[in-house]
Amino acid sequence: MKATLQVVGWVLLISQGIIPLAQKFSGNELGSFQLARMLPVGMQVPASIGAIVVAVLVLVAARAAAGSAARK
């Protein structure tokens, strides 16, 4: 469970949060597989920030799962 949460968290953080923000602020308008880039212009940055928040929560949950597994 911990490993799955870590993979999902990092993939979400990098591919759906950080990369779309970097592309948006660098002026790169290439459409790609990122969800935020498929949204209307006004929603792209909030969607990327939301993906980052969700990714951080998933990574925190992975860390909590690792801590509870270590205590058993």
Q: Where are the domains of the chain?
A: 2-71
Tens digit of each residue's pLDDT (9 = 90 or more) over 4-60: 999 999 999 999 999 988 888 898 877 677 888 888 989 999 999 999 999 999 999
10-48 CB burial, b ≥16 within 10 A, e <16: eebbebbbebbbebbeeeeeeeeebbbbeeeeeebeebb
pLDDT given for residue 28 in this prediction: 81
Global pTM reads 0.83
Pick from 55, 71, 69: nearest CA to 7:
55
* pLDDT for position 7: 94
Place of tokens 């920030």: 49
Span 58-65, average pLDDT = 93
Cα dihedral sign, 7-21-24-44: positive
